[in-house]
Chain A
Amino acid sequence: MATSTPRKTSEATTHGRRTIAGWRANALQLQLTSDDLDLLENVITVVPILRIVVAIGREARKRGLTYPVSGVSRLQSCLGADTLILGGHRIDNDTIASAMPESWFPIAHEGELLSRVHLALLRCEMEAYQLAPRPTFQPGKARENGSSGRNRV
């Protein structure tokens, strides 16, 4: 039986080390080689948003992003005035600020960056989906248009 005391603040257990190993935790261990690159390419196609995460991760490396990343402004300065269009997502200073709350910072290492980018992309897709116009559901109209009682796709 556990006895718990939730607290609002804790000095002793809020400043631990943030490591790639802790971020990977119990993820399945794989010994990948360069021969597996085409396999990885295919795997990230299964979940297409991961291809965008890869593209952003490559951009971050190419632009020399260093860690920890203290806040949104650090990502914005890394991107500069550039705009990236990746898989239907527009990434610029404004969209970074709107998609990544300051509470997601600091970002300690590349793994955390990829996690936050993944969340931000999903957030944008969800919000875009919620705002998208919906077709009007007209059951009577659907019956008129159907030539038979069979479902049409």
Chain B
Amino acid sequence: MAAAVGTAFNWVRVTGGVWTKIGQGPLVTGLPLQALEVHPTSGIIRTINWTLDGYSAAPPFYQRETGRTRTLSFGSPPTGHTGDYAVVLAFAVSPWAEFNILTDIPCFAHIAML
């Protein structure tokens, strides 16, 4: 996840049941907040159970968040931000961080820099 610019619109197709990397790169934004967005690949409104693992070269080095998000399907990767944040993280500035997600159903996901 190249901070604010590189993957701001980098939606990743996530296979249900498989840990999938959805973002990596330096965290260099002035505001150390990151938001997870998830949307199902099919159906109209689905509930997604997710677990997000964040690994960073700077403290806290690792953080896990889990949750359940009920949200719309767009049938294809959304364009830009949807504004629907499943969770907001607070990883501090870091030379590199990686985010991996596990979901129970296929979905599109990405990490947005706030």
Contact = CB atoms under 8 A, between A and B. Distances in A.
Chain B binds chain A: yes
Nearest to A115: B98
A62 to B, nearest CB: 25
B44 interface: no
Size category, B interface: 35 or more
A17 interface: yes
Contact of A103 (B17, B62, B95): B62
Interface string B16-36: 011111100000000000000
B70 A3 contact: yes
A6 B18 contact: no
B76 interface: no
Interface string A1-44: 11111111110111011110111111000000000000000000
A24 B105 CA distance: 19
Interface of A: 1-10, 12-14, 16-19, 21-26, 101, 103-104, 115-116, 118-120, 122-123, 125-126
A6 B21 contact: no
Given A14-B66, A104-B55, A2 B96 contact: no
B70 A2 contact: yes
A2 B84 contact: yes
Contacts of B57: 119-120, 122-123, 126
A2 B85 contact: yes
Contacts of A13: 49-51, 66, 102-104
Given A101-B62, A119-B56, A7 B68 contact: yes
Contact of B18 (A4, A9, A21, A125): A21
A91 to B, nearest CB: 16
Contact of A8 (B13, B66, B98): B66
Contacts, number: 113
Contact of B96 (A9, A26, A103, A118): A118
B17 A12 contact: no
Contacts of B19: 16-19, 22-23
A3 B98 contact: no
B87 interface: yes
Nearest to B37: A2
B49 A12 contact: yes
A8 B57 CA distance: 23
Interface string B70-88: 1110000000001011110
Given A2-B38, A104-B61, A119-B98, 20 more contacts: A2-B37, A2-B39, A2-B86, A5-B68, A5-B69, A6-B66, A6-B67, A10-B68, A12-B104, A17-B17, A22-B19, A23-B21, A25-B12, A25-B20, A25-B21, A26-B12, A101-B62, A103-B61, A119-B96, A126-B57
